[in-house]
Amino acid sequence: MDITAIISSLLTLLAGIGVFLIACQMMSSNLEAASSERLKKLFSKASDNKLFGVGVGMVGTAVIQSSGATTVMTIGFVNAGIISLMQAATIIYGANIGTTVTAQIVALGMSGGSSISTSIIFSAFAGVGAFLSIFAKKSSSKTLGGILAGFGLLFVGLELMSGSMESFAAQDGVKTFLAGISSPLLLVLLGAIFTAIIQSSSVMTSIALAMVVTGLIGIDQGIFLTMGSNIGSCVVAVIAGITSGTNAKRTALIHLLFNCSGVVLFMLASWGLGFFGVSYGNIAERLFPSAPQVQLAMFHTFFNTVTVAIMLPLTGGLVALVKKMIPERIVEPSSEFSLHYVDENMLRTPPVAVSQVKREILRMADIAIGNTDRALIMATQLDFSEKELFERNERELNFINRELVGFVVRLIGKSGLGEKDRTYLSGTYRSIRDLERIGDYAENMVEYATVLSDSGQQFSDDAKYEISQLGALLHRLYDQAVDAYRNEDLGALGQANIIEEEIDDYTHRMEEGHIVRMERGICTPSVGAQYLELSSNAERIADHMINFAKSIKSLKTD
């Protein structure tokens, strides 16, 4: 046995794994950027329909080329309470099918009997993509270049891994050693351990493909290694679940139980087939003769698809089981508040995280206008029954302001974001601040109401009427501003601008009306001072609302 050759082969294998992982990351991040809008729409439509959930997971994973990212994002959705455990389970099922696309791509690259292998032809895309990324001016062209470069590097890494396998195959000692590993259970265990270490089932499956093609191991050995990779891939979800809430832990456990169930079922079936002298390898060889790479890739797809078909009707029982295994615990929250739509796990899929940031900001806007309404009621009716709720909402606005800005800072530094998403995120700091300031001005109004109440005074009936009309205008402005922000609707923004000008004119007339009432002795100077301050604060609220709506203008390039 040539020790030097073995060491050289091991180093080549390590290099191949590194290139392959980098290629997967490049493809994933650029595919996410290219399809960010579609991804956001896809995951926003999660429903209780099981087949639809499977479709979401399958398409999402096929697009971003990472079942781990899909699963971790799903855990984030569950932790934020956006989707149910049932929905999460079906998305994870689909992710397991979607991840087989990588194996099919690799198998395709290993196919062909021409003098120039398909793998070499595909590897050339790395150069084409690199030139496009460097010299292209449009961001969309650069993204396409990144996708092509990642695709090409996938096969560069594969060639390195295959080369190392051929060197191993030339060593009789290595072949004899590997041939001795025939226990299906041991092979599954080895596949699980290696996948858990590198945290990529795609790499493990690709290595198994290379080993089978070079004759280093048999097709049955490759099949059991691939089955083990399904168990090892759960480590990413388990790590994400451990650091999250109860339902996130349950989701990670669903993933683990689902993958283990598939392996157990196929292991039992393999044992049964053995009584008839048949193995999975025999069947694959008959279906796809002289094409070991296709045999293993097709088994991988078959294995995951059949497992989903078996487990899908049992999803309700699986969810009930994990709820018993991980019961609900009453834990004192570390904070009084939490972000409703955003979770750290979503950073694994930046385009979807962007849409969740938008939902969180819209929730913040809803809290801000709610407090504005309460402040106006306190000022006109001196009814402080909801003051405690008002104060709680004000603290929540401050919390969202602080935590969401921090999340956006971490998100904007991630790869996989399109130019439009980055432009949107860069404007969220101002939008969040505008909404927080609306809460501050509402808080000022409550202070004016408190001063009136403590002094035993109140606004005149005319002043109360004017304030109620002002409140109606603010609500009209809010409706149009939110519509503009949510739908990027320039028409709604135009309406919001008109209403904001109406508010400016109305507050000016309020000042004139106040002077008339002062001259008639209807209101006192001290009450009038509170009235003018309230009018001024309402005008500033309108200014911040319109600023919030105007943030969409940067997203419109046409």
Give the pLDDT confidence score for residue 558 in this predicted structure.
Answer: 46
Q: At residue 145, what are phi and psi to the nearest 5 degrees?
A: -60, -40
* Distance in angstroms (rounded) separating the CA atoms of residues 196 and 178: 21
Q: In Å, how far from its chain's centre is CA 161?
A: 31
Q: pLDDT truncated to tens, each residue of the chain (558 aa)?
A: 567 777 887 888 888 888 877 887 777 777 766 666 666 666 666 656 788 888 888 887 776 667 777 787 788 778 767 778 888 899 899 988 988 888 888 887 776 555 456 677 778 888 988 888 888 878 778 888 888 888 888 788 877 877 777 776 666 676 677 777 889 999 999 989 888 887 778 888 888 888 888 888 899 999 999 999 989 888 877 877 776 678 888 888 999 999 999 999 999 999 999 888 899 999 999 999 888 889 999 999 999 999 999 999 999 999 999 999 988 775 555 567 888 888 887 787 788 788 889 999 999 999 999 999 999 999 999 999 999 999 999 999 999 999 999 999 999 888 767 788 888 999 999 999 999 999 999 999 999 899 888 888 888 888 888 899 999 999 999 999 999 999 989 999 999 999 999 999 999 888 887 777 777 767 777 778 888 889 999 999 999 999 999 998 877 654
Residue with tokens 């991840």: 99
CA distances, 369 to each of 70, 92, 363, 472, 512 (Å): 35, 38, 10, 11, 27
User: SS3 letters for 127-140?
Assistant: HHHHHHHHHCCCHH
CA angle, residues 211, 216, 222, in degrees to nearest 5: 50
Euclidean distance between CA atoms 19 and 198, whole angstroms: 13
3-class DSSP string for 197-265 = HHCCHHHHHHHHHHHHHCCCCCHHHHHHHHHHHHHHCHHHHHHHHHCCCHHHHHHHHHHHHHHHHHHHH
Q: Which two tokens stand for residue 233?
A: 């891939």
CA distance 523 to 507: 18
Q: Compute the radius of gyration of the chain from its Cα atoms.
A: 31
Tokens standing for residue 243: 């650091």
**What is the separation of C-alpha 415 from the centre of its chain, rounded to a whole number of angstroms?**
13
Residue 97: count other Cβ atoms within 10 Å of its Cβ: 22
Distance CA 274, CA 452 (A): 88
- What secondary structure does DSSP assign to 329-364, as a single string? -----SSS---SS--GGGGGSHHHHHHHHHHHHHHH
Q: Quick one: pLDDT at residue 170?
A: 67
Domain ranges of the chain: 3-325, 344-555
Evaluate whether 188 touches 267 at the Cβ level (below 8 Å): yes
CB 503 within 8 A of CB 477: yes
* pLDDT value at residue 87: 87
pLDDT of residue 283: 93
On whether the CB atoms of residues 470 and 510 are closer than 8 A, the answer is yes
pLDDT value for 188: 92
Alpha-carbon distance values, 338 to 205, 242, 412 (Å): 40, 18, 21
Cα four-point dihedral sign 236, 240, 243, 249: negative
| Sign of torsion over alpha carbons 541, 546, 549, 555 | negative
Q: Which two tokens stand for residue 204?
A: 């493990």
Topology of the domain comprising 344-555 = Methane Monooxygenase Hydroxylase; Chain G, domain 1 (1.20.58)
How far apart, in whole angstroms, are the C-alpha atoms of residue 533 and residue 531? 5
Burial of 36 per CB tally in 10 Å (0-12, 13-18, 19+): buried
Picking from 117, 119, 127, 118, the residue whose alpha carbon sits closest to that of residue 148 is 127
pLDDT, position 301: 92
